[in-house]
Amino acid sequence: MATVFIGVDPHKLSVTIEVVDNHEKLLGSGRFDTDRAGYAAMRKQVRAWPERVWAVEGSNGAGRPLAQRLLADGEYVVDVPAKLSARARLLDTGHNRKTDAHDAHAVAVVAARTKGLRVLSYDGELEALRMLADRRDELSRQRVQTVNRLQRLLSELTPGKAKKDLTALQAKAILASVRPRDLAGKTRKRLAVEQLTELVEVDKKTKVLTKELKAIVLSRGSHLMDLRGVGPVVAARTLADVGDVARFADRNRFASC
């Protein structure tokens, strides 16, 4: 049986597909939810074509979750750059109107016409690294917010004595030195203690995550941390974002990314 190409236009809550043969003849299409039932229905619809190639636009962006699910289920998936699908859509329709169906068709056409598209592979460890790096970034943002709130409360409790770079130990010492007597002051100190508790917890989680990221980076044989100024967090984020370095045509493309 001839190979068919399944163009995928992914979104967070839905996905649109179009199936074409190697002559670009439309064989099927559909729109599915991205939940478990929708994903199962999508795979059931294409079961009639055992020789199939899934072409996902933006497999390192919006299409990553779906691409990873397909790869985990043993499907053959290729990455279609957004520039190629946009060009195909413009040439095929004579305009640049974007709809989910047009996008999915353009992606399928690119896969049918283009040789050498990057074939994706499932890497559970790299996917875990990406999730941990994202969580580390979330904790960093949470820490900044917590410190800002704590700084505001401490500046009200001890006017003129706010520290620029506040640590949990410094905040604890400052709070131990103040004993407000009025209701507003006592409430302010209680809220500051709550913020300090959150800061200690965030710092603890961040430390554990950083250690875990370092272990994974080293287990992959990466030498990024040998570079001056590159620690576990930067190395993990680089590996997670780059993925397969072979997807870049040359070092200049990599550098621009």
Of residues 54 and 123, more confidently modeled:
54
Over residues 3-16, the pLDDT tens digits come to 899 999 988 889 99
Burial grade of 88 (CB within 10 A; 0-12, 13-18, 19 or more)? buried
Least confident of 62-71, 117-126, 213-222: 117-126
Decide: 196 and 178 in contact? Cβ < 8 Å.
no
62-65-70-72 Cα dihedral, nearest 10 degrees: 150
Q: Strand 26-33 to strand 14-20: parallel, antiparallel, or no bridges (unpaired)?
A: antiparallel
What is the C-alpha separation between 160 and 137, in angstroms, rounded?
32
Q: In residues, how long is the chain? A: 257
Residue 61 confidence class, pLDDT cut points 50, 70, 90: confident
Over residues 89-109, the pLDDT tens digits come to 776 655 456 677 888 888 999
Strand order in the sheet with 52-57: 26-33, 14-20, 4-10, 52-57, 77-80
Of residues 24 and 211, more confidently modeled:
211
Amino acid 123: pLDDT? 79
Over residues 106-137, the pLDDT tens digits come to 899 999 888 888 888 887 888 889 899 999 99
CA 240-35-123 angle, 5° bins: 25
Which domains are present in the chain?
Answer: 4-113 (3.30.420.10), 124-256 (no CATH)
The half-sphere exposure of 250 on its side-chain side, counting CA atoms within 13 A, is 1
pTM: 0.71
